[in-house]
Amino acid sequence: MSLLLSEIQGNSKDFLWSRMRREAEEGIAVDPTMLGFLGSSILEQNGLEEALINRLLSRFSHHAFDFHVLENAFYEATASINNWTKIVQKDIFAVFERDPTVHRFLDVILYFKGFHALQIHRIAHVLWNKQRKDFAYYLQSCSSSLFQTDIHPAARIGSGIFLDHATGIVIGETSLIEDNVSILHSVTLGGTGKSGGDRHPKIRRCVLIGAGAKILGNIEVGFCSKVASGSVVLSDVPPHVTVAGIPATILGKTGSEAPAQSMDQTFSCGDGI
C-alpha cells in the first residue's frame, strides 16, 4: 500500500479516527454479528487514544489487578509520553503501509498483536523509568504470554515501528531501536553471555530485519541496512548494506533508500560491492 507518512501531519488524527469509525460501520453492515464488538471498541469510544487503551485493556486486564487500577495506570503512563498520539499514529501508518494484508486502519488497533505488544511496551517503559519496576515486569510478563513477544521494559524503541507477525520476537534490556524500523517474527536482539552493562544491539533508522535473524551483542546495525532472514549478526553492520549468513557477512548494497518501508526481503549477492 502507498500512503505517505507525511499524511500524519496536520489533521491526520481526525482523519484516522473518522476513517476507523466509517470502517467499523461498514464492518457492521456486512456482518451484524460484529455490532457488539465493533460498537464497544470503536463507535462508543471518544477518540483514537481512548479506543486504543480500551482495546489494550480488553486484551490485558487480569484478575491480579482491578480493572480500574490498570486503566488509570495506562492513562497516566501514556499521558507522560511526549507526543504519544503522534507516535501511535506513526505506528499505525507503519503497519498499514508495510503489511499487504492490512486493508483498514481498524485492523491495526483491533487485531494486530505486534502493534499491541509495542504499545504495551511503551507503557511498561514509562513505568520502568518511574522506578515502578514490578509493574513494568508484570506487563512484560503478561505481554510475553499473550502476544508471544518478549520486550524488556528498559529497551528504547522509536516510532513508526512494524513488528510483522511478532511471534517469537525477543528484545533485550539495553537494546535501542530507532524510528521507522521493520522487524519480522522470531528475531532476537540479544546479548552474548551473562555479563551485565550495555550488551544489546543498536538498530538505526529504516533498518529491515528478516524473520529469524539473531543480532547479538552491543553492536550497531547501520542506517537503512537490511539483515537477511535466518542470519546471525555478531559484528557492526555499516549503513546501506545487506548482510546474510552465519555469521553474517556483507553481500552488497541494499538497493533501497528505505528497506524498512519497502519490505523487500530479497537480495542479490555482490550488488554494489
Span 136-148, pLDDT tens digits:
999 999 999 999 9
Q: Which amino acid is at 209?
A: I
Span 102-115, mean pLDDT?
A: 96
How far apart are the C-alpha atoms of 108 and 60, rounded to whole Å?
17
Q: Output the average pLDDT for the chain.
A: 92
Q: Are 232 and 219 in contact (CB under 8 A)?
A: no
The pLDDT of residue 61: 74
The pLDDT of residue 272: 43
Sorting pLDDT into bands at 50, 70 and 90, what band is 271?
very low
pLDDT of residue 5 exceeding 50 = no
Pick the more confident residue, 129 or 255. 129
What CA–CA distances, in Å, run from 177 to 16, 78, 238? 25, 19, 16
The pLDDT of residue 273: 38
The reported pTM is: 0.93
The pLDDT of residue 66: 85
